Amino acid sequence: MSETEILHQAFRVILFGTAPALLAAVVVGILVGVLQSVTQIQDQSIGYVTKLAAVCLVLLVMSRWLMQTLDQLFDAIYRLIPGLMTGPL
């Protein structure tokens, strides 16, 4: 695996690892905002706590997949290091 392939894989891990949590925060934020405007409850902590809970739940569900993906990425980087050291000086 070359350096560019590892870089592409790292960007994919970043994208696919953060997108579901960010999407959950956005969806929950919109739903809580609509609910607060309908009920006229203007407490900001309700939005923060529900978004935090949603993001934690998504990260908990994704944790196994994310750890396996990060393990594969770090293994590829570790295997690439000896090849980097034997290059031209």
Question: Quick one: tokens of 70?
Answer: 């990060």
Planar angle of CA 42, 47, 52, nearest 5 degrees: 160
Is 16's pLDDT higher than 60?
Answer: yes
CA distance 36 to 61: 27
The band of 87, judged by pLDDT with boundaries at 50, 70 and 90, is low
36 neighbors 73 (Cβ within 8 angstroms): no
How big is the CA angle at 68 (ends 65 and 73), to the nearest 5 degrees?
125
Dist. CA 51–CA 66, nearest whole Å: 20
In this prediction the pTM is 0.77
Ordered by start, the domain boundaries in the chain are: 3-81
